[in-house]
C-alpha cells in the first residue's frame, strides 16, 4: 500500500513540476494588436515631433542600433538621439511587415520611409527596414528592448571612399 501511495505521489509531483515549467501559450493576435496600437502612438509622435511620446514604447534599458552610428542605450539617451533626429526629419512613416510572439518576447520586421533635411544636401528621401524586439514588462506592458534600422539607399561615393 505504501508503494502505491509513493508511486501516485511521485507521478503527481512530476506532473506538477512538468506543467508548472510550461511557457503559457501566447495569443499572437492579442500581442500584435497591443503593439500595433503602441506603434500608432509612436507614428503620431513622429508626426508631431513629440519626443516624450516617441520614447513611451521603449524600456528603460532599451538599445537602439542606428545606421552609421554607435548603439544608443537607455531611454534617456534614446530620447536625446530622437531629439537630434527630429531636428532633421521632415516626414517619417513605418509599417510592420512581419510579426511573431512567444512567451514574453515579440518581434516585428518592417519598412520605413522618410524625408530628411540634411545639412548641405537639402531634402533627402530615405527608405529602409527595421527590426524591433519587444518584451513584456513586469507591469504587463510591452516595451521595445532592441531596435535596429538601416537604409536601403546606396552609400554615396564620397562616404564609400572614406
CATH number at residue 35: 3.10.450.50
**Total domains present in the chain:** 1
Residue pair 49/64 in contact by the 8 Å Cβ criterion: no
Q: Which three cell numbers stand for residue 25?
A: 501559450
Q: What is the CB-side half-sphere exposure of residue 15 using CA atoms within 13 A? A: 6
Express each pLDDT in 40-84 by its tens digit: 998 888 888 888 888 999 999 999 999 888 999 999 999 999 998
Q: Which three cell numbers stand for residue 26?
A: 501566447
> Looking at residue 129, what is its pLDDT?
96
- Kindly report the pTM of this predicted structure: 0.79
Quick one: average pLDDT of 128-151? Answer: 96
13 lies in a domain? Answer: no
Q: Phi/psi zone of residue 156: left (φ > 0), alpha (ψ -120 to 50 degrees), beta? A: beta
Quick one: average pLDDT of 149-161? Answer: 71
> Looking at residue 153, what is its pLDDT?
87
45 lies in a domain? Answer: yes
Cα–Cα distance for residue pair 81/89, rounded to 1 Å? 12
Amino acid at each position: 500500500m505504501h508503494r502505491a501511495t509513493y508511486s501516485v505521489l511521485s507521478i503527481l509531483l512530476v506532473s506538477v513540476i512538468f506543467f508548472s515549467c510550461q511557457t503559457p501559450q501566447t495569443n499572437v493576435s492579442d500581442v500584435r494588436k497591443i503593439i500595433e496600437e503602441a506603434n500608432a502612438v509612436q507614428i503620431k509622435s513622429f508626426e508631431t515631433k513629440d519626443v516624450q511620446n516617441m520614447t513611451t514604447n521603449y524600456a528603460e534599458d532599451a538599445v537602439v542600433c542606428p545606421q552609421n552610428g554607435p548603439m544608443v542605450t537607455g531611454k534617456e539617451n534614446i530620447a536625446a538621439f530622437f531629439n537630434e533626429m527630429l531636428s532633421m526629419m521632415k516626414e517619417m512613416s513605418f509599417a510592420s511587415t512581419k510579426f511573431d510572439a512567444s512567451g514574453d518576447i515579440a518581434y516585428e520586421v518592417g519598412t520605413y520611409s522618410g524625408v530628411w533635411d540634411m545639412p548641405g544636401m537639402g531634402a533627402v528621401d530615405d527608405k529602409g527596414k527595421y527590426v524591433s524586439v519587444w518584451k513584456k514588462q513586469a507591469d504587463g506592458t510591452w516595451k521595445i528592448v532592441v531596435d535596429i534600422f538601416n537604409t536601403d539607399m546606396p552609400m554615396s561615393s564620397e562616404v564609400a571612399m572614406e
